[in-house]
Amino acid sequence: MTNYPSILLSKAVDQFASLPGIGRKTALRLVLHLLRQSEADVEAFTSALNSLKQDVHYCRVCHTVSDQEVCPICQSHSRDRQTVCVVENVQDVMSIENTGQYHGLYHVLGGVISPMDGVGPSDIEIDSLVARIQPEAIKEVILALPTTMEGDTTNFYIYKRLQNLMASLPIGEGLKISQIARGVAIGNELEYTDEITLGRSIVNRVDFKV
Amino acid sequence: MTNYPSILLSKAVDQFASLPGIGRKTALRLVLHLLRQSEADVEAFTSALNSLKQDVHYCRVCHTVSDQEVCPICQSHSRDRQTVCVVENVQDVMSIENTGQYHGLYHVLGGVISPMDGVGPSDIEIDSLVARIQPEAIKEVILALPTTMEGDTTNFYIYKRLQNLMASLPIGEGLKISQIARGVAIGNELEYTDEITLGRSIVNRVDFKV
């Protein structure tokens, strides 16, 4: 156990070290950096965090982080409002937005089903997703969850729930459920691609298009 | 440039990303983690930082971080008060304390001389070190600065300053100036030791002791 020369220092280090991926050495380095800044700078740092926590909202519709009750994407009329992309978290929304390849809406689950971590379907925003999918308005749900066992479990659970929903519909009314393509990443050499990805990319090969 | 879904979020990310070694992706992860904590937890985080900045002191004698005007080490009478170990920063004090091998006092320079970074002798606590070394009270100064060019420059500068100090003393009054041992780190294989360290460890070999 490290002895800190100051209790105040030790408390500040405790706080930083409680953040994910920040060890005590890094925490100490960050705290000593802040200590070298002016009081106004530290005040700006802490007030940005306080006002974030106090004033930020989660969008009532898609559950992404937003300054408003309903986020700009959910409010926008220039977006494709018939397509909903289901993602795990806010970072995923930002990553997909950065590609510039998607123009529909989002739904942020806030996690994936993970029995090992005690996360069940009711702990994440699946009910609100199903409630939101009104087949007369939504034509496609894209599942863009992590390509892990937990992501696959969640994909399957959502698929089943949406199928139940569709069973009650008149014949002909359809909801398309898709998932993001999986395979060898663009720019990768095959010899450095892991065996599972490479194997599945052969099994799940698609027609060559020019 | 990433578009954040919320200005408050973006401001909090800016603050975290201003810390050394924290990129914008990590900053976003940390901020979203804090956002998931309770308001009381975030309040505890920010108030620990505010009170650190407002209430912490630098020891008047050795310049380490302390809750008091004079730090416990400088106040202690169970320590060897005739030896002063000169280090670059507060982390170094903690690292040396953790070894349990040193029982003297410290002097924290708050940096090393680095003309490239615009850090001169007057920007760090060298004057206060020289003022503190009263040869009737201090018998040894241990230079424990980084084994870099900047550390060596600072070592040499301090050595010269202390020599001037000693020149004014009556013959026989001595101040020992030492530096930490340099060589192959304990537990290291020679083949993985860099050439400069290995070369110098041969040139500067010492008598074998049993």
Q: Per the domain annotation, does B110 fall within a domain?
A: yes
pLDDT digit string, tens, across residues A56-110: 889 999 999 998 899 999 999 999 999 999 999 998 998 888 888 899 999 999 9
Q: Are residues B125 and B167 in the same domain?
A: yes
Q: Are residues B107 and B165 in the same domain?
A: yes
Structural domain count of chain B: 2
pLDDT digit string, tens, across residues B178-201: 988 888 888 888 888 888 888 888
pLDDT digit string, tens, across residues A24-49: 999 999 999 999 899 999 999 999 99
Distances (CA, A) of B209 to A72, B190, B206: 74, 20, 9
- Residue A32 to residue B90, Cβ atoms within 8 A: yes
Cα B25 from Cα B180, distance rounded (Å): 39
Q: Are residues A98 and A45 in the same domain?
A: no
pTM of the model: 0.74
- Residue B5 to residue A90, Cβ atoms within 8 A: yes
B contacts of A67 (beta carbons < 8 Å): 6-8
Q: Per the domain annotation, does A38 fall within a domain?
A: yes
A contacts of B56 (beta carbons < 8 Å): 6, 8-9, 35
Give yes or no for a contact between A160 and A141, defined as CB atoms under 8 angstroms apart: no
Q: Per the domain annotation, does A184 fall within a domain?
A: no
Q: Are residues B50 and B83 in the same domain?
A: no
Q: Are residues B110 and B170 in the same domain?
A: yes
Q: Are residues B92 and B154 in the same domain?
A: yes
Answer yes or no: is the ipTM higher than 0.95: no
Phi-psi region of A100 (alpha: psi -120 to 50; beta: other; left: phi over 0): left
Q: Are residues A38 and A129 in the same domain?
A: no
- Which structural domain range is residue A33 located in? 7-55
Q: How much of chain A exceeds pLDDT 90, in percent?
A: 56
Q: Residue B115 is part of a domain; what is its CATH number?
A: 3.40.1360.10
CB nearest A53 (choices: B2, B28, B35): B35
Q: Per the domain annotation, does A19 fall within a domain?
A: yes
Q: Per the domain annotation, does B13 fall within a domain?
A: yes
Helix axes B39-55 and A39-55, enclosed angle (nearest 10): 170
Q: Are residues B44 and B83 in the same domain?
A: no
Please tell me which residue of chain B has the smallest CA distance to A57.
Answer: B6
Q: Residue A50 is part of a domain; what is its CATH number?
A: 1.10.8.420
Q: Per the domain annotation, does B41 fall within a domain?
A: yes
Q: Are residues A48 and A81 in the same domain?
A: no
Q: Are residues B96 and B172 in the same domain?
A: yes
The residue whose two tokens read 């340099």 is B182
Q: Per the domain annotation, does B120 fall within a domain?
A: yes
- Residue B33 to residue A52, Cβ atoms within 8 A: no
- Residue B28 to residue A53, Cβ atoms within 8 A: no
Joined tokens for residue B80 = 């060897």
Q: Minimal CA–CA distance to A178: which of A166, A162, A165?
A: A162
Q: Are residues A50 and A83 in the same domain?
A: no
Q: Per the domain annotation, does A190 fall within a domain?
A: no
